[in-house]
Each structure stands twice: as C-alpha cells, then as structure tokens.
Amino acid sequence: MTEPSVETLPLHHVAIIMDGNGRWASSRGRPRVFGHRKGVESLREAVKVAGELGVKQLTVFSFSTENWRRPAEEVEALFELLRRFVAADLDRLVEEGVRVKVIGRSEDLSPDLIKIIENAEERTLHNTEFKLVLAFNYGGRDEIVRAARRACRDRDGDLSDLTEADFARYLDTTDMPDPDLVIRTSGEHRVSNFLLWQAAYAEFVFTDVLWPDFGEADMKAALEEYARRKRRYGGING
Ligand code: FPP
C-alpha cells in the first residue's frame, strides 16, 4: 500500500496560529513589530504554497481578543499591517481568485478598518479558487457568546430544539468547513482561544519554527504529518 502523502490528501481547510514573531525579532535585536512585518511575508508564502498543495481554505490568527493587552504601539502596528496588507495585496488576490473573509469582533474596530475589511470581502465575494480567512480581533469564546446571543434573538429566546448544526450557522464561520488541521508555530502547545468550536475534531501539528521562518518546506512537513494521522471522529475505524 502506498503511504498517504500530501499529493493524495483530502485536506480542505488548514488553520494556523502564527506564533513567534516577537521572539524572532528580539533575537535579532529588533522591535517586535519587525517580526510581525516579516510574518506578513510568511503569510503570503503560506497562501501560495497551501493553494499549490490543493488546500482550499486557510484561516490565520492575526489578532486575538486578548492581544489588546499588548502595548498600544504594538496593537496599532498590527492594525496598520492589516491596512497595508489589503492595500498591497487585494488587487492580486482578486485576480488570483482568492476570496477574503475576516472573522472576529468587528464592532471594536475603527470605522476605517471596518470599511477596508468590507471592501476586501465585497471585491472577492465571487472568487472560488481559494479562501483566505483572517481571524482579526477574534476569540473563540467571544464568537460562541455572540452566536448564542444571535440565536436567542432569532428564536425569541427559545433554544430548546437548537441543534449543533443550527448553532454553527450563527458562528462567524457560517458555511465554512471545520479545519482539518491546525498548525501552531514557535514551540507553544496551546489552542489560545482559536476556533474552539470548529477545531473539535481537527488534527494539531506543532512546530518549533518561528512564524517569520515558516516556509514551503515547513508547510509540506505539516501536511505530511497530517497525512500520516488516522482520523476517527470518536469511532474506532481509521
Ligand atoms: C504572535 O506572535 C503573532 C501575532 C499576535 C500576530 C500575527 C500577525 C501576523 C503574522 C501579521 C498580521 C497579518 C495581517 C494580515 C494583519 P507573538 O508576537 O506573540 O510572538 P512571541 O510569542 O514570540 O512574542
């Protein structure tokens, strides 16, 4: 029997916790923001490589609801990186058939950022080649609470016959498949409030590589590790 490989994978959706930017920059005597900037380059490369390997959706953790605790200067720098990423890459993403979607608490963002996000989503709405989901001001618990409020409002407070599938439609990820694989870089082994509902059956791959160093070979290695795992969904068959 042939070994499962990246080429034979039924792998639709990969999610990434892009960790280690700060340490990457500090180890070079540079400010943390330098690492985030380099992290955007890794993100561009990850989209390209994932697409080439047949992945259809990439969801990346770009700013968490907990990241507000960082110094204001770093928070503003991360917002600015999102603005610049859209300004620099949107035309190309439109052309390449990439659909862009942002998930998270948009209500806390500035009106200009909300506009930028809405414009990026609108301009790529009909693209079907690949989906790039930016989790920005995102927290899994916050998403679940917002979904519960919406469900409650919609159903006049009566959730007695609400199913898992019904509830999932109220999440920010409505209509998206759950991630098959979650990758976390930088040697940390935590889920950190990322896709708590959606990653219930995901495989996790952890790598010591810091996000700014994460490249094609690392993506291939993560997908190959996934290919070697057997997914059982709580049953006993591989
Ligand atoms: C974690 O590294 C990374 C983040 C909090 C931000 C990730 C953001 C990017 C890669 C760029 C943003 C991209 C867009 C499009 C907005 P860390 O700073 O916690 O690293 P550390 O653990 O080494 O301190």
pLDDT given for residue 54 in this prediction: 95
13-228 — its CATH code?
3.40.1180.10
pLDDT given for residue 2 in this prediction: 46
- Catalytic residue positions? 19, 67
pLDDT given for residue 1 in this prediction: 41
Nearest Cα residue to 58 out of 76, 67, 45, 68: 45
Using CA atoms, how far residue 120 sits from 85, 112, 115, in Å, is 11, 12, 9
pLDDT given for residue 6 in this prediction: 61
Pocket test for ligand 1, best of 18, 86, 89 (most atoms within 8 A of CB): 18
Pocket test for ligand 1, best of 21, 24, 28, 60 (most atoms within 8 A of CB): 21
Residues framing ligand 1 (Cβ under 6 A): 18-23, 32, 36, 39-40, 43, 62, 67, 78, 81-82, 85, 134, 186, 211
pLDDT given for residue 98 in this prediction: 98
How many Å lie between the centroid of ligand 1 and the Cα of residue 78? 8
pLDDT given for residue 147 in this prediction: 98
Determine the atom of ligand 1 nearest the C-alpha atom of 39.
10
Listed as ranges, residues in the chain with pLDDT below 70 are: 1-10, 230-233, 237-238
Nearest Cα residue to 188 out of 61, 49, 78: 61
Strands 130-138 and 203-206: unpaired
pLDDT given for residue 236 in this prediction: 74
Q: What is the pTM of this model?
A: 0.94
How many Å lie between the centroid of ligand 1 and the Cα of residue 202? 22
